[in-house]
Amino acid sequence: MTLRRALVTGATGYIGGRLVPKLLEAGFTVRVLVRTPSKLRDVPWADQVEVVQGDLGDLASVQGACADIDVLYYLVHSMGAAGDFEKTEHVAAENVAQAASAAHVARIVYLGGLHPDTDTLSTHLRSRMEVGRILLDSGVPTIAFQAGVVIGSGSTSFEMIRHLTDVLPYMPAPKWVRNKIQPIAVRDVLYYLQAAADLPDEVNRTFDIGGPDVLRYGQMMNGYALEAGLKQRAIAALPVLTPWLASQWVNLVTPIPRNLAIPIIASLQYDCVVHENDIDQFIPQPAGGLTGYRRAVRLALGRMRNGDVETSWRNSSIEGASSNPLPSDPDWAGHAVYTDLREKTTPADPAALWRVIESIGGENGWYSFPLAWAVRGLMDKAVGGVGLRRGRRNRDHLHTGEVLDFWRVEQIDHGSFLRLRAEMRVPGRAWLEMSVTPTDDGGSLYRQRAVFFPRGLGGRLYWAAILPFHGIIFEGMATRITATAAAEREAEAEHPLGTVSRSDDA
């Protein structure tokens, strides 16, 4: 391999977060360009890469990141963004093309989407195709891969298939469930991305990539059902379900928020299959061949069972959600702010209490009034929010920037402090903090604080409306967290080699 210095854009995303360790293993020196470096603080490879803060919309930051780079991976897209995301993607691609050319980057590798040869593409696919065209015309040798449905633990497409199949024993579906799809395993996508760095300079073109199976979407759902040990689902294709109505349906019964469901479903209006296999002339297939759909599903389910999901769609930024950190207390002067503070002591030592705190949410629950949390999640989904069912990547451990149901981890000091930033639809900005302090008797002090910055009159009325429920939800949460930690600590003392399980309704 002759190219050794790589710049990865989109390193906090699903594909980029998995590609970086592959490049490191292959001997690359890796630089990543990210808007929020704190999101990478807890990833296992954080101290092995150079992190540059910047935005593809800012030419100067892209130019600085491209210095001394051999191969640039363009793995950023604005799917689900509000406003004129086509213009946003166009500007970003133009900036990368200009900066890469000026810096004499030897190769650009881009991952776009499979699309039919038609003038009626969805906005999402049209924008992805335009980004590829800009990069191919940059003067820098470019490989523009065009992939369809990517199957892997945590991928948006896999999660949509999984939740639709898990939830619905019978599915009234749009007619696109009969369209042909050529899915590709995420491991094969990563294989092609890495291998593209070695292609000769004269190769400047698109390549379609897909797995060995061509299936209808309904067959993909039932293939998942078989691998998950479920009965095959009855699927009825209804011509009355428009893409917009279908996206509302997906938003309701899956964790995929509406702003992501709409472009995905719009892309499924067409057959999504490869039109050429020219890549085989330049990059040999991986040892053992490309991964079939059923095996890709089996591998994804295995990773989920083992809590070994490297990256997930859940951790993508949510358009419209606050991205600003909680201001320090002195900055609150002159602003309306509401807080709810709860403190509890427990005989559990700090380590035992922290284990309960760090494992909160997802399948473990929120330790108080489950119905209230579920209703709040449904209300959020109804207005196009993310809802409560995004879950968490790992059952027991959290990293900075990760999603936790309708929260995002803004700050985590392992063993002592967790701050979550709300991404549900609220008329203002909200945070939830949980912390652990050792006490002199060997126990712990649990401190829980909710903070809300209201926006206008609506924000103030919102806080007043939910205030009566705080005594139930937040007080119950603090009480059960400390009690659970104490019970687990006591159980561990009695059975030091055993495993302590939490109640299902926690």
Residues 446 and 478 sit within 8 Å (Cβ to Cβ): yes
Token code pair at residue 465: 């409306």
Domains of the chain, with CATH numbers?
5-301 (3.40.50.720), 338-493 (3.30.530.20)
Question: Which of 431 and 257 is assigned the larger pLDDT?
Answer: 431
- Pick the most confident of 229-243, 249-263, 346-360: 346-360
Q: Where are the alpha helices (DSSP H) in 312-360?
A: 350-358
In which band, very low, low, confident or very high, does the pLDDT at 501 lie, cut at 50, 70 and 90?
very low
Report the distance separating Cα 483 and Cα 493, nearest Å. Answer: 15
Which is more confidently placed, 258 or 36? 36
Please report the pLDDT score of residue 224 as a whole number.
93
Least Cα distance to 18 among 157, 189, 148 occurs for 189
Residues 6 or more apart whose CB falls under 8 angstroms from that of 309 comprise 153, 154, 303, 393, 394
Structure tokens at 407: 């929260």
**pLDDT exceeds 60 at position 339:** yes
Q: From CA 165, how far away is CA 147, in angstroms rounded?
A: 23
Condensed to tens digits (0 to 9), the pLDDT of residues 62-81 reads 999 999 999 999 999 865 55
As a whole number of angstroms, the distance between CA 354 and CA 366 comes to: 14
Q: What is the mean pLDDT of residues 406-412?
A: 89
Give CA–CA dist 479/473, Å, rounded. 10
Distance from chain centroid for Cα 492: 35
Q: How large is the average pLDDT for residues 427-445?
A: 93
Q: With the C-alpha atoms ordered 327, 333, 339, 342, is the resulting torsion angle positive or negative?
A: positive
Strand partners, 403: 408
pLDDT above 70 covers a percentage of the chain that reads 87
> By C-alpha distance, which of 143, 180, 191 is closest to 290?
191
Q: What average pLDDT does the segment 53-67 reach?
A: 95
Mean pLDDT across the stretch 172-183? 82
Confidence (pLDDT) at 217? 85
Task: Return the closest-CA partner of residue 105 out of 37, 50, 31.
Answer: 31
Q: What is the sign of the dihedral through the CA atoms of 120, 121, 123 and 129?
A: negative
More confident residue, 154 or 299: 299
- Which run of H or of E encompasses 21? helix 16-25
pLDDT at 307 over 70: no
* Nearest residue to 163 (alpha-carbon basis) of 316, 367, 391: 391
pLDDT beyond 60 at 479: yes
**Mean of pLDDT over the chain:** 85
> What is the model's pLDDT at position 368?
84
Distance, in Å, from the CA atom of 475 to the CA atom of 468, rounded to the nearest integer, reads 11
Give residue 472's pLDDT band: very low, low, confident or very high (50, 70, 90).
confident
Cα torsion angle, 98, 100, 101, 107, sign: negative
